[in-house]
Structure 1
Amino acid sequence: MTAPVSSIRNLGPASDAAFARAGITSADELRALGPDEAYRRLIASGTRPHFIGYYAMVMGLQGRPWNDAQGAEKVALRARFDAIKAAAAGSPGSGLPADLADFLDRHGIRQS
């Protein structure tokens, strides 16, 4: 039997359900996809993007505590997250231009 997503440090039962909606049902699948592609799929499946969730997953895949990212590493993670989020917001099927989707997300008024 394969280990669930929640067997990865920092990820719990809610992560199992969210990643399953994105078609990722095991820790091995998540590791094979890598954090950026896995998070892209998570957003595409309807999960609202959240930076802390993203970097907690990245840290967990490295076996580190969720709040371990500091300084330049955290800045680089934020840039990666923003790129994933922007690509998802402007992806076909969203129906919104990327800049409008980003504005609505930043202000917490976009309905998924």
Structure 2
Amino acid sequence: MSRPIAEMRNLGPATARMLAEVDIGSEEALRRLGAVEAYHRLKFRFGRHVTLVALYAMEAALRDCDWRSLEPSVRDDLRKAARRP
């Protein structure tokens, strides 16, 4: 069963509202799109108000871990993927 975004680790009500505005309303939807695509949608809609921490938080939420515990290599890969169009 898919959880609401606000119930996922690292993602609170504010992130859930922002994700809902870009049609990502559940864990299943986030998992289907992936953190990088979700980040691209958020950046397009909210611009500079969305930082790389949001990308890390979404990826960590999908892995069910704290975003600060993501390995540096994972963060690097996410940054590189987020730069691609």
CA-atom RMSD in angstroms: 2.0
Mapping of residues 65-76 of structure 1, within 5 Å: 65-76=66-77
Percent sequence identity is 33
Query: Is this contact kept in 2: 1:22–1:44, CA < 8 A?
Result: no
Give the TM-score normalised by the residue count of structure 2. 0.80
- Bigger Rg, which one: 1
Distance 1:72 1:3, change over 3 A: closer
* 5+ long unaligned stretches in structure 1: 88-112
Between the two proteins, the alignment pairs up a number of residues equal to 84
Q: Distance in 2 between matches of 1:20 and 1:66?
A: 21
Partner of 1:22: 22
Paired amino acid for 2:68: N
The Cα offsets for residues 74-102 of structure 1, whole Å up to 9 and x where unpaired, read as 2222212233xxx3xxxxxxxxxxxxxxx
Runs of 4+ that moved beyond 6 A: none
In structure 2, the gaps of 5 or more residues are: none
Question: Where does 1:31-110 land on structure 2 (aligned, <5 Å)?
Answer: 31-48=31-48, 49-83=50-84, 87=85
What is the TM-score when the length of structure 1 is the normalising length? 0.64
